[in-house]
Structure formats: C-alpha cells, structure tokens
Structure 1
Amino acid sequence: MPSPRRSIAGHLALVCIGVATVAVLLALLFDRLFENPWLAGCAALLVAVPVALMAARRAVRPALSLFRALAGTALSYRDGDFSFGLRWKPRDELGDLVAAHNELGGVLREQRLSLVQRELLLDTMVQNTPVAMLLVGDGGHVVYGNLAARKLLNQGRKLEGLALEALLRQAAPALREAMDRGGDGLFSVGDGDEEEVYHLARRAFRLNGRPHELLLLRQLTTELRRQEVQTWKKVIRVISHELNNSLAPVASLAHSGAELTRRGQHQRLEAIFGTIEERARHLEGFIRGYASFAKLPTPRLETVLWPLFVERLRSQVPFALEGGLPEDNARLDLPQMEQALLNLLKNAHESGSAPEHVALRVRRHPGLLRIEVMDRGTGMNDAVLANALVPFYSTKRSGTGLGLALAREIAEAHGGRISLNNREGGGLVVAMVLPVADHGVV
C-alpha cells in the first residue's frame, strides 16, 4: 500500500512546531531551576538553537542530496547520456519533480534511440548507394565520402580530411575537366568497350553557418546503352517504314513501266516516271532531314537585326507579327535559328489553323529572350505534348518527327530551352527561351 501523500510545507511546519515545543519546555524547566526568567530564557535558547539547527539540517539533507543528483543528471543529459534516473521515496512535491525528471529522461532516451536508428539506416543507404557522394567543406577538404566515392577516387580508402584538389589530380582527366567547367554535366572515362559515362551534379548549401558543396557522381553507362539500343530500334523502325512506303510503289511502278515498254504502250510512261521521281525526292528530303539533325554543328553566333531576320522568314513562310520587335539586336546562329523557326512556322500552318492566325512574337525579358510561334489549330492532347519533342515522334502520316526535335536541339545548343503549351481558345504556342546578356544572346 503506497504511503500517504504529504507536502514539504507541512513537513517543515511540523519541524518548526517541534522545535518551538522543545524551546518552551526547556524555558519552563530552567525557570524552575534558576527562579529567574531572563536566565532561564537564555539557557533555553542556548540549548534550543543547536537542536533547531540539527533538526533543520536533518530535514533538508535529503532535498540537498536530490538537488545534487538532479544537477548531475542534467550534466549527463547535456553530454548526450540519458541512461540515468532518480529515486525519491516520499510522496511530495519533490517526488513529483523526480517523476517528471525521470519521464523526461525516458522520452529523451526513446528519441535518441530513434534518431540513432534513423542515422544508421540513412548511413547504410548512403554507403551502399551506387551514386558516389562527396561533401566538401569551404576549405576544399572532404567532409564525407561514401563507399562508391572511395572506390572511384581513392581506391577504397577513406576520403575524410583529404583535399579535393589533390584527389582530382589523381583522378581521370575527364573528371577534372567536368569539375573545372562548373555546374552539372556528363563526362566519359576510358576508351572503347571500357568507356564509362558519368553524370556530375553539384549543389551548394550552408551547414552550421559555413558553405559546403555536395558532389554526386552517377554512372550512366548501362542506362545510356539501354536507351541507345531503344533509340536505334526506333530509328530503324521509322526508316524501314519510310523506305517501304516509297520503295514498294517504286518497284511496282518500275515493273509496270517495263511491261508497258515491252508492249509498246508509251503514253503512260510519263506519269509512271513522274511518280517515281516524286517518291525519290521524298526519300531524298527524308534522308536530308535525318542528316541535318545528326550533324548539327556548334552555333556560330553573329549579330541578328530583327527586322531583316523577320522579313527573311516571311519571304519563305507567311505569318503575322504580334507586337513589336526588341530594339536590341541579338547574337544567334542565323542559319540554325532560321531553320528552327521555319520548322515551327510550317508546323503551325499544318496544324489546321487559318493562315492569318499563324503568328510570331518576340519579347525581351530581363536575362531572357522569348520567341513564340502561335496558331489556332487543334492543339495537342497530353500524350502528344509529352512526346512531341522526342526525336522521330510524329502524329502525321508523312511526318519524320524531326521538326520539333531539331528546334529543341538548336535552342539547347544556344543555352536555352523550348516549351509547348495549348492556348486558351484553341491552338498551340511553341516558345523558344534563350538566355541573354547586355550584349545579346549568350
């Protein structure tokens, strides 16, 4: 059966009452012995004061011991040790304090255990991921490196504390060049069958108020080779389909022409030869489109005067100019940009839009140049929008799937991007967004 609850104030009151009672009894006793009230009072005080001090010390001694224990456990908590607990038998306010203290220690122990388990799980995942991870401090020294990073940069040995610059001097030249370029990018290590392709990602952040950089090196060789095989299969299917669509009728027409010649019926040969020529020119244009996509050179920037450039486009494809042209000239690869915009404008005319609704808009924003081609055709559904920029993807029966892909390649070669969005009220807007500096496109 638990002991009844008592309060510290009540306990101290009982001690005071006991001391006062002893003092009164001593005063009465000494009054009878000395028959002098003042002398009796002084004698009673001489005896009662030591008794009161002993009683007070005895009363507060357990509390003082408890306070020292509380200070010790608080220091242990500060040092991260939550294994200590306290025990206090009396059921009073100090007992409530001890119970709350022990409950706090239990909560901290559980949280610490959960945190340790999470750290172990995270460390296990980071250490066993195939992505090489490096955390570099502001002094250029490695703060953390997982197993993949150790194998890639230091033959499996620890990296912590080593200078990144020293590690890069021993690494492959391609990795050093990728680091010197800055930003994210791909690089290859090795030659021939032993070539490995990596993707470098860099992220800067502040940790404990100090700048750090996280480097992620991911091997993409297997994924790229698998994607390369799929791309080649798709290219072969498209080329085979196009060749069969042209060569089968050519072979049939050639056979018919031979039969007509043998019979001396020459009046239909002109039509047959015309059809053969048309199919041959179609194949020629098809192959030329593939060649232009595969052999896109590095852009050679030159100053572009917008009015002359727009008139040059309009002389080949009709369109309306929406809004004014930027006052600043741009620096672009003129043939490439002309080819990209001509493809986009021809697509706009083939979208089912009325010719007068095909428009071009050029706008200058801070740090950006936005060139938009707009139409009022049927637009695109979500599936077509998701694949429209993929090479060789086309919804047209005679399409090669290279027009939008080539425009995307040209935009990215200029450091920009391309986007497709349906317009409110119907139609499509294709936007080429290019970075610009004070002197033009960079």
Structure 2
Amino acid sequence: MRNKLTLGTVVAALGAMVIFILLLSHFAPTLVSEIGLGLILTSLLVGLMFAWLLSRWMTRSLASSLSALEVGLLNFKDNDFSVHIPVQGDSQLRALATLFNESAAVLRQQRQYIYQRELLLDKVIQSSPNVMLLLDDRQRVIYANDAARHLFNQGVRIEGVSLTELLEGMNQELANAINSPKGGLFSLASEEEEGEDETWHLSRGRFLLNGQYHHLILLKQMTRELNRQEVAVWKKVIRIISHELNNSVAPIASMVRSGRKITEPLDNAKLKLIFDTIEDRTSHLSQFIFNYARFAKLPLPKKSRVDWQKLMAQLAQHFQFSLVGELPNAPGFIDLIQLEQVLLNLLKNAHESGSTVEDISVHIAQQTLTDGMEGVCIEVADGGSGMSPEVLAQALLPFYSTKQSGTGLGLPLCREIIEAHDGRISLHNRQQGGLLVRIWLPSQED
C-alpha cells in the first residue's frame, strides 16, 4: 500500500508539472525558450524526486502500523494472542492499534478461562469413580479417565487401544455388556468365592464431532447405591411400624397399671397372672420396637482420633479374644461409639458360633487399596461352623437371621455403620473352619 501511495504521489506530481509546463509554453513561449529544455527537464526530475521523498516520509508511520498489524493478525491465525502492537501514527491508526490490542487482551483472557475450565473438567472426570471411555468410529479409545484405566489395564494408559484388545481377558459378563448395543443394569460375579456380586449400570452416547462419530461409554458401580436404597426403604418401613406399635403399646401399658390399682384390693391370683403376662409381653414388644428403631434412626458418625490400644482394652472388658499382630501406630479416625458397637456385635456372634475362646481373634493393620486409598483393615475371626453360601449371601440383609430369637439386625446394623464411614464389610468362611469378618475403613480425616 505504501508503494502505491508513493507511486500515486509521484504520478500526480508529474502530471501537475507537465500541465504547468504546457500552460507555460502556451502563454509564455518566450520564457520557455529562454529557460531552456534542459533546465526544465532537470527541474522536472528534481520535483519528482522531492515528491517521492516527501511521500515516503509522510507514509512511514502508516507502513510500520500496517506491518505490525499484519504480524499481529498472523499471530492470531496461529492462536497466539500475546502480541501487542505499538500505538502510533495519526488518530485513525492509533484507534486501530488500540482496538487490536484490546481484542488481543480479551482473547487472551477468554483462552485462559477456557484453559482453566478444561483443567477443571479434566480433574473432575479423572477423579470420578465412574468409568468413562470415549471411542472413535473404529472403536479405538480416544480418551479414558483414571477409573477406566484401573478397571481395564491396572492404571496404565489405554488411549489408542482397540475395544476388542481392551476386553481380552476381562470378565465375560462385563465384555458382553460393553459389546451389547443397549445399556442398563448388569451383574458381575465376585472374584472371591463368598464375595458379594456387583451391580453395574452401563449407558451409551453417540455424537458427531469434527465430522466424525464418537461413542461414549459410561460405567457406574451401583452395588452400594442399591444397597443404600434398599436399607432406606427398610428404615422407612421400620419407622412406620414402630410408630404404629408404640401408639398401641403405650395405652396397653397404661391400662395394665390402672387395672392393677383397681383390682389390688381383690387380691386375685389369676388377675395378677394376667396383668403380669400382659406387662411382660408389652415390655418385650417395647424392647423389640426399640431395637428396630435404633437401626432406623442411626445417626451420622462423629469421627475423632481413636487410640487402638484403648479400644481393644474396652472390648476385652466385655468379651475374651486374642489380638493377632501389632496394632497400628497411627490412630484411627472413626466414631468410637459406633465402631465399638460393631466390634462388640461381631465378638458376640463369634462367642455364639460354637467357637472356643482360643479361636476368637482380632487383627488390625494398615492397608492401602489398589486405587491408592489408605485405610485400616480389621478382621474378626472365630473357629465355629461358619456359614453356608445361602446364609453368606443374605447375612447382611435386614431381618434375616438364623437364630430363633434373633431380630436379623445385628450384621445389617454393622454394615450400615461401616458404610456410613465410607468403608466396607464382608464375610468369608475360613479354610480351617469358622467365619472371618473383614472391615476396611479409610484413614483420611475429613
């Protein structure tokens, strides 16, 4: 542009000078002849040179501004918004440069915001316990979060691997569910012989991105969620039944006391037996309701630092057992009252299992899971008769009991307390006979 402006200036000057010479030769031919053709041509060349230099000097700021703007726009094309062009020249050039710099600042801010959002989104996805796989139309993995890498490849990156290769050697139920075009719930048998089956939910998505179809697979572990929903339903039923029973038991107990006072002068043995029987049964029913209500109204754990040595000493005051191994040096971060209730219940079951006192043991040790979660593992073992596979599958469910006088809430209450601590509990038959109850609790403080 600068060259065009310079050329235009020189051409305009040349035209003006030629017109001047023609007019001069027409109106003053004598003067032209006196000056001479050589001097006129020399003056013409000097004038053109002066016009060229003046044009170059006048357009120097325009040239530098346009050059800076061109470089800045090329940087924009390369997604580089860090450029800042100088503000110089006349008002229009200065306004244009200022507008460019403001646009660059806005673009830098927007890109930083998008970058931070992408980091946050990636952090959320990587921290999610749900398994996420993004596949291209050739069924190759484009993106996988940390949960997917641990599920399919022990934490090793799987980007670029085909889905067929990824599913080789995996659980057949899992492979069938992923290869199925439909989503929904499916179950995976536990790898442990007496472990609980796992329930998973699979959902699929398909979308078009950059002209190519992509496939999104989401896997969510539903076992604990379904268990919690089931327990929540049981709690609601228990609260309703407890409320109705209490509304009936309280008036009966009051009427018994009134009947005793009214019939006291009669001194009738049969009436006394009747009242004693009614009072005994209402008292038993009240205790029965209380046990169920305690399960339905279990408070959230109030965690604090707990010394394992002190806890073991408190348990030894109620039941005899042998301590296996050394206790962890680091204190636990748990609800002391609730965990003590769990361990007392397990030790009580161990003593009622037919086991000798010498075979009842407690073992506590630090344990880190495969996903890096640090915690403590508590094992309560006995030498009794153990449990059949059918009983193992239902022992942690509310209202299930093999004891004639049992309420079926002991182990479910233990499970509710442990899961409220974000832990897990499992039952296993020992090879040498007896039952092993294993508890895992996270050690991180909230």
TM bin (shorter chain): 0.3 to 0.5
Give the TM-score taking structure 2 as reference length.
0.45
Give the TM-score taking structure 1 as reference length.
0.45
